[in-house]
Amino acid sequence: MQRLTKIKDLRLKANEVRQSIIKMLVEAGSGHSAGPLGMADIFTALYFNVLKHDPSKPDLKDRDRLYLSNGHITPVRYAVMAHAGYFPIAELMTLRKLGSRLQGHPSYRDLPALESSSGPLGQGLSVAVGAALAARMDKRRHRVYALLSDGEHDEGQTWEAMMFAGKEKLNNITAIVDRNNIQIDGFTEDVMPLEPFADKYRAFGWHVIEIDGHNMQQIIDACEEAKSIYEKPTVIIAHTTPGKGVSYMEQKYEWHGKPPTPEQGQVALAELQHERDRLLNEVSA
């Protein structure tokens, strides 16, 4: 796996990931759009800069563990894993098809280096916290990452996991919350208000970092800061734009759970290619 250290290279890779997401969803004719596009920068930073992992040795004992709680955004994980070398990029076009390894929600039995299946919202942090506690008990030095949606904080189990991690001072876990302010029925603050969100995590004993979830340097710096916190777990609240990179999807909760049509996909790909050309010109300037 090629480790990318230059911000410009990470931004270009995230653009490739977004284009793959659009192609996958158009081919499948079903799936989620807003969340995967919004999390492309974070997943790219993780797989190409932050995580300790090796696609050629997916079961590496000391690999970092990544648990995706909101499994419906799995197109972004599939896309970044393919670009990282876990399986052929061409396989992305089998998303949600019968017999495919790439189902609408990820199954750990089907792909290498998936630590758990996910889909039912609100459960992922509990699984990740259990893995972090087990790692500490076994004196393992890998780090556990838990990726969560903001909307799934409507589920009580998430708060129980937060409370337990704070009580146990699990400094080997980093939670990253996609704070995109939408869920399937509308905006989070209309459906079930979460604010003051950061203060609630602090009250449960977590170290809180807030970032722009599309700023590569902030993503990387936050993950590094989390490693330096020894007395408590860390949560990174990443403020993101749902549907990022596709103008007609951005900030629209209606795109939470539907794919673009072939015609809409062409518009999206044109916009993303225009952004890629702009980045290349910026790189060469």
The answer to whether the CB of 216 falls within 8 A of the CB of 47 is no
* Mean pLDDT for the stretch of residues 218-234: 98
At residue 112 the predicted structure's pLDDT band, cuts being 50, 70 and 90, is: confident
Q: Domain for residue 152, yes or no?
A: yes
Residue 129: the pLDDT is 98
| Overall pTM > 0.85 | yes
Evaluate if residue 285 carries a pLDDT over 50.
no
* Mean of per-residue pLDDT scores for the chain: 96
| Helix 216-227 vs helix 7-28: crossing angle, to nearest 10 | 100
**CA separation for the pair 215, 197 (Å, rounded):** 21
Number of domains present in the structure of the chain = 1
Residue 282: the pLDDT is 83
Q: Domain for residue 1, yes or no?
A: no
* Mean pLDDT for the stretch of residues 214-237: 98
Question: Cα separations (Å) of 212 from 37, 217, 238, 240?
Answer: 15, 10, 6, 7
Residue 2: the pLDDT is 75
Residue pLDDT, tens place only, 170-210: 999 999 999 999 998 899 999 999 999 999 999 999 999 99
Q: Domain for residue 46, yes or no?
A: yes
Cα within 13 Å of Cα(113), Cβ side: 27
Looking up residue 122, the CATH number of its domain turns out to be 3.40.50.970
Q: Domain for residue 134, yes or no?
A: yes
Q: How do strand 182-183 and strand 186-187 relate by DSSP bridges?
A: antiparallel
Evaluate if residue 120 carries a pLDDT over 90.
no
Q: Domain for residue 2, yes or no?
A: no
Range of the domain at 246: 7-284
Distance of CA 19 to the CA centre of its chain: 16
The tokens describing 227, both together, are: 């490693």
Residue pLDDT, tens place only, 123-137: 999 999 999 999 999
Q: Domain for residue 252, yes or no?
A: yes
